[in-house]
């Protein structure tokens, strides 16, 4: 596959951004009353840009099974709410302590720490409200399956657990398998869930669901390697956040463990694996294959 296909995915992602932003706006509570500050902060964080990779994966995985667009978009919006909550909390002084995200002041800098914590909490809660609503799917079993899979992906054995390991890992020497486990929990699990959504909505639990999980596992790890490479090689303006923070904090990453060249080669291999897992879907998976290429070519 040529780099041209990565450009196609990039364009599709760009076109998709306004679609998912409108959907998220429509799902936000009305900003009024004495609580309006927290709703404003939710809106600020949600609309501050971002690649919208996870919601795009949801919609593309749903398209493989010809799922109703409204169902897919609602789940996509819920996942972007969860992702945005994780970024707001990650940027707080008690965690990664960053002033800049997506090229803008982080939510706690724009508002204050307490408002940012509450905006993150409310976005996480909103995600579950969206998933449990009948408008997302008329079949309660499917709604429960979505909620169960998301809960497992982002809890103590998923994203939150990965963040805990990451926070403890500064200036500790993690082994390669421990780094991979930490990154899979912190970043990979939500990406895996995003890709699985199509199969959950279609109620299939066969080789096609497994293929989506394998695709996602591979792009998730490659995505993280590229993120670590950008931290070293990118500049703050391009990546929209402070560059060089991981090195400064002495964080163990696959790049610090393997070196730049070997890490880049591993990311290439992971992307090739991801693409081959999509063969089971024939030409229907063309966009997901292109997206895998975009993950490795991205500059932010
Ligand atoms: C606070 C519970 C909790 C978890 C935080 C997601 C996360 C866990 C931390 C973010 C820190 C980080 C830089 C992780 C590396 C990979 C990653 C998730 C990058 C950000 O995702 P993108 O690039 O962001 O998709 P955009 O801005 O495009 O949405």
Instruction: With respect to residue 207, please indicate whether it lies within any of the assigned structural domains.
Output: yes
Quote the ligand 1 centre to 74 CA distance (angstroms). 21
Instruction: With respect to residue 184, please indicate whether it lies within any of the assigned structural domains.
Output: yes
Quote the ligand 1 centre to 269 CA distance (angstroms). 22
Instruction: With respect to residue 267, please indicate whether it lies within any of the assigned structural domains.
Output: yes
Number of domains making up the chain: 1
Quote the ligand 1 centre to 53 CA distance (angstroms). 11
Cα 54 to Cα 196: distance, rounded to the nearest angstrom: 11
Instruction: With respect to residue 20, please indicate whether it lies within any of the assigned structural domains.
Output: yes
Q: Which of 128-141 are b and which e, b meaning 16 or more Cβ less than 10 Å from the residue's Cβ?
A: bebbeeeebbeeee
208-253 pLDDT, tens per residue?
Answer: 999 999 999 999 999 999 999 998 886 666 656 666 676 667 777 8
| Mean of per-residue pLDDT scores for the chain | 92
> Could you tell me the residue range of the domain that residue 61 belongs to?
6-297
Instruction: With respect to residue 168, please indicate whether it lies within any of the assigned structural domains.
Output: yes
Instruction: With respect to residue 1, please indicate whether it lies within any of the assigned structural domains.
Output: no
CATH for 154? 1.10.600.10
Rounded mean pLDDT of 110-132? 98
Indicate the pairing of strand 104-105 with strand 100-101: antiparallel
167-181 pLDDT, tens per residue?
Answer: 998 767 889 999 999
124-168 pLDDT, tens per residue?
Answer: 999 999 999 999 999 999 999 999 999 999 999 999 999 999 999
Ligand 1 atom at shortest distance from the alpha carbon of 51: 28
Please tell me the pTM assigned to this model: 0.93
Instruction: With respect to residue 140, please indicate whether it lies within any of the assigned structural domains.
Output: yes
Quote the ligand 1 centre to 58 CA distance (angstroms). 17
- With a CB cutoff of 8 Å and minimum separation 6, the contacts of 137 are 71, 143, 146, 201
CB-based pocket (< 6 A), ligand 1: 50-51, 53, 86-87, 89-90, 95, 102, 159-160, 163, 186-187, 224, 227
Instruction: With respect to residue 237, please indicate whether it lies within any of the assigned structural domains.
Output: yes
């Amino acid at each position: 596959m040529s780099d041209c296909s990565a450009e196609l995915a990039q364009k599709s992602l760009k076109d998709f951004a306004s679609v998912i932003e409108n959907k998220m706006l429509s799902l936000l509570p009305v900003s009024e009353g004495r609580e309006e500050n927290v709703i404003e902060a939710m809106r600020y964080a949600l609309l501050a840009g971002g690649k919208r990779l996870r919601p795009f994966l949801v919609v593309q995985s749903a398209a493989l099974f010809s799922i109703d667009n409204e169902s897919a978009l609602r789940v996509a919006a819920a996942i972007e709410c969860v992702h945005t909550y994780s970024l707001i909390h990650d940027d707080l002084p008690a965690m990664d302590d960053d002033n800049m995200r997506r090229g803008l002041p982080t939510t706690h800098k724009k508002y204050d720490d307490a408002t940012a914590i509450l905006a993150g909490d409310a976005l996480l809660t909103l995600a579950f409200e969206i998933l449990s609503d009948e408008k997302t799917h008329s079949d309660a079993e499917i709604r429960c399956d979505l909620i169960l899979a998301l809960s497992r992906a982002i809890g103590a054995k998923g994203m939150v657990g990965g963040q805990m390991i990451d926070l403890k890992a500064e200036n500790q020497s993690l082994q390669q398998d421990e780094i991979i486990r930490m990154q899979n929990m912190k970043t990979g699990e939500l990406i895996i869930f995003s890709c699985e959504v199509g199969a959950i909505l279609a109620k299939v639990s066969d080789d096609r669901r497994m293929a989506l999980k394998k695709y996602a596992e591979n792009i998730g790890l490659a995505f993280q390697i590229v993120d670590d490479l950008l931290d070293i090689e990118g500049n703050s303006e391009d990546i929209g956040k402070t560059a060089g923070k991981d090195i400064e904090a002495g964080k163990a990453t696959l790049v610090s463990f393997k070196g730049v060249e070997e890490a880049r080669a591993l990311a290439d291999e992971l992307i090739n694996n991801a693409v081959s897992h999509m063969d089971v879907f024939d030409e229907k998976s063309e966009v997901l294959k292109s997206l895998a290429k975009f993950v490795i070519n991205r500059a932010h």
